[in-house]
Structure 1
Amino acid sequence: MTEVTTRLVEASDGLQIAVHEQGPAEAETVVLVHGYPDNHTVWDGVAAVLAERFHVVAYDVRGIGESGVPDSTAGYRLPQLSADFRAVIDAVSPDAPVHVAAHDWGSIQTWESVTDPALGSRIATYVSISGPDLGMATTWLRERAHLGSSLRQLAHSWYVFAFQLPLLPEAMVRSGLLARFVGGGPRPTKDQVNGVELYRANFIGKVISPSPRPTDVPVLVLAPRGDVYVTVPLQTEAPRAYASSLVTQVIDGGHWVVAEEPELVAGEIAAFIEKEGSR
């Protein structure tokens, strides 16, 4: 097992982002972005496998883990999350583009960077797992041709609407109800409460004005067939009109496949990097 080092990177608004690195520093860099209600440790198994060949970076999203906490909901908006991502990659790989893999909310926020023309040259490949771009997803859900799939996805996503309410999500966290619903290992109460702000800061705006953007970054969507929160059709179909170099693959596993099947996920990430690198 390789040694993990941690440093703090200053975001554009002065917040400190905790960045955890392992693997050979001279190798290509792979950045791993976690979702809700996790922190960077959800990637531990994947990171350990990838670190045999790559410089692996996993960071705690703002408000979570060892990173700083914004003082308002506005501090969790997608443009700021993308700015955090840029600060991290500029610190860990200033002279070369990075490969990125992201899960759940980490994937949602990373689409913001992948579709930003200013960041396109800084991202070599992108692997998205269980987290579609909000603009692409909203547009897909609105299309009449997808009515049946849309209704099934909305049924899976009831918690998104609950998270818009005041006090209720925090009460769910502190009562332990959210942990029973989500499953997995124990997570710090602070992380669970702060992470709710991701939903409050971003969903309503994207529902009202989706404005999906295209990207030429090579994208691999890994869609776990047993995901109870994000359906396979949404993950694989929503980006088709926007990602010019898109590969979709259905894999065995549930929503937390990154923690439950790390060797499978790491293998898919490495294979995609190899394939795109050989072009």
Structure 2
Amino acid sequence: MTHPANGFLAPAVATTVRNGDIELAVFEQGNPDGPTIVLVHGWPDTHLLWDHVVAELGSDFRVVTYDTRGAGRSTSPTRVADYDLELLAADLFAVVDAVGRGEPVHVLAHDWGSLESWEAVCAPGAGDRIASFTSTSGWCFDHLGHWMWRNLRNPTPRGLARVAAQWAASFYALLFHIPVVPELVTGRLLAPRWPLFLSLFDRMEPTLARPAVTIGRDAANGLKRYRANTRQRILRPRDRRTDIPVQLIVNTRDKAVLPFAFEDTDHWVTDLRHSETAAGHWAPLSHAPEIARLTANFVRDVIGRTSPGDTAIRA
């Protein structure tokens, strides 16, 4: 699928993975003999978000992307309850089981894809299916809830200021709970102007944007994720821990997911690496080579710990 001599990456091989009533559109590219990395996009994107990153990873890794439920070519349930994080994590596990060839895969996720992947890596037995997790611009919702409540129950000026700043940055998520209006604003006004929005919000080159033709519908469907999960996860956070190696790529210019909201993550993750980029929220578009490099290096490190003989993957 890959032609290293000229750097050309062959078109993706498209398949379908089923999880109950949900059909997920799955795409495979890259080196078929390399370690498998599954990439999970967020809102309101599709697998196309990862095109620039896939081009960087494809020579050495077998790269699998997919449209999450409600997006792109995948099934779009109509009920809010069908977008619960546990169901979204089950979709990821279905993809992993289908593409993993009987071995754990590595996961890279962004935005809501990270929230879904956090749900998966904190599930019992996840280590049998996921070898490592790299997250950018997305918390574990439960970790975020615990962080907020810790600062509210033991208030300090600094802690309260940080909670207030994150709430201000996330205020749009509360507005998304209003009926009907957010669908109209995001689906009909914002989505058709998505490259322009990204250039203003993240100060990135608008031609880097990869919106799908379904972005209007996808943006409206994606609001159900907020409605199904935000309030209960923040107000009643669960204890969610993982022994899976995790890399946090913190984007220091992210206006939606503020860097200090991750300061308690090491309490929940036994094997945690922090990395930073001077990027905004849509780093997979604006800083694709850096996201790919950090992910590739982390995956190689994880492989090297368990299978020293396999570390000859090209740097």
TM (norm. structure 1) is: 0.95
Corresponding position: 1:183 with 2:198: yes
Q: What code does the residue aligned with 1:173 have?
A: T
How far the C-alpha of 1:94 sits from its partner, in A, is 3.3
Distance 1:224 1:138, change over 3 A: same
Q: What code does the residue aligned with 2:26 have?
A: V
| Residue matched to 1:71 | 78
Q: What code does the residue aligned with 2:123 have?
A: D
The answer to whether the Cα contact below 8 Å between 1:162 and 1:168 also exists between their aligned partners in 2 is: no
Distance 1:214 1:182, change over 3 A: farther
Q: Which residue among 149, 163, 169 is the counterpart of 2:162? A: 149
| Residue matched to 2:30 | 23
CA–CA distance in structure 1, aligned partners of residues 234 and 170 of structure 2: 14
Q: Which residue among 10, 15, 18 is the counterpart of 1:10? A: 18
Corresponding position: 1:95 with 2:102: yes
- In structure 1, stretches of 5+ residues that fail to align are none
TM (norm. structure 2) is: 0.84
The answer to whether the Cα contact below 8 Å between 1:232 and 1:250 also exists between their aligned partners in 2 is: no
Distance 1:174 1:79, change over 3 A: closer
The answer to whether the Cα contact below 8 Å between 2:188 and 2:216 also exists between their aligned partners in 1 is: no
| Residue matched to 1:204 | 231
Distance 1:17 1:174, change over 3 A: closer
CA–CA distance in structure 2, aligned partners of residues 138 and 18 of structure 1: 32
CA–CA distance in structure 2, aligned partners of residues 244 and 182 of structure 1: 38
* Stretches of 4+ aligned residues off by more than 3 angstroms: 177-182, 184-187
* Deviations, residues 184-236 of structure 1 (Å, cap 9, x unaligned): 545521111001111011111112311031100011100111101010111x3
CA–CA distance in structure 1, aligned partners of residues 102 and 15 of structure 2: 19
Distance 1:175 1:191, change over 3 A: closer
CA–CA distance in structure 1, aligned partners of residues 99 and 301 of structure 2: 23
Corresponding position: 1:84 with 2:91: yes
How far the C-alpha of 1:174 sits from its partner, in A, is 4.2
How far the C-alpha of 1:182 sits from its partner, in A, is 4.8
The answer to whether the Cα contact below 8 Å between 1:63 and 1:69 also exists between their aligned partners in 2 is: yes
| Residue matched to 1:261 | 287
The answer to whether the Cα contact below 8 Å between 2:114 and 2:135 also exists between their aligned partners in 1 is: yes
* Deviations, residues 66-105 of structure 1 (Å, cap 9, x unaligned): 1011131111111111110111011111311100010000
Distance 1:175 1:67, change over 3 A: closer
Distance 1:23 1:74, change over 3 A: same
The answer to whether the Cα contact below 8 Å between 1:127 and 1:221 also exists between their aligned partners in 2 is: yes
The residue correspondences of 1:54-69 to structure 2 (distance < 5 A) are 54-69=61-76
Q: What code does the residue aligned with 1:8 have?
A: T
| Residue matched to 1:250 | 276
Distance 1:275 1:162, change over 3 A: same
CA RMSD of aligned residues (A): 1.6
CA–CA distance in structure 1, aligned partners of residues 105 and 294 of structure 2: 16
The answer to whether the Cα contact below 8 Å between 2:33 and 2:62 also exists between their aligned partners in 1 is: yes
How far the C-alpha of 1:24 sits from its partner, in A, is 2.2
